[in-house]
Amino acid sequence: MKKYSVDRIEEDKAVCEDELGNIIVLDLSELPEVKEGDVIIASKNGYRVSREGTRARRKKNFDLQQSIFNKEP
């Protein structure tokens, strides 16, 4: 199974990034309802949103943001 994160939505396309940083553009019609930041998993049956993967990715990004902006001088 391949895992992607939805980087952005452009018109009827989802621009996604895999774990290695490769970009793939998917038609929204091929996907379940997604939004920017969602983690989707590809399988032989299509795509599904990984709620757990999405939560983990958002927490990682939030923690990184906090460490950058809340540094003590």
The amino acid at 3: K
**Beta strands per DSSP E along the chain:** 2-10, 13-18, 23-27, 39-43, 46-49
Q: Give yes or no for a contact between 14 and 31, defined as CB atoms under 8 angstroms apart.
A: yes
Rounded to two decimals, the pTM is 0.82
Q: Determine the 3-state secondary structure of 28 from DSSP.
A: helix
Name which CATH class applies to 2-69: mainly beta
Domain ranges of the chain: 2-69
Q: Which helix (H) or strand (E) holds 55?
A: helix 51-69
Q: What is the mean pLDDT of residues 12-21?
A: 96
How do residues 40-55 score in pLDDT, each as one tens digit? 999 999 999 999 999 9
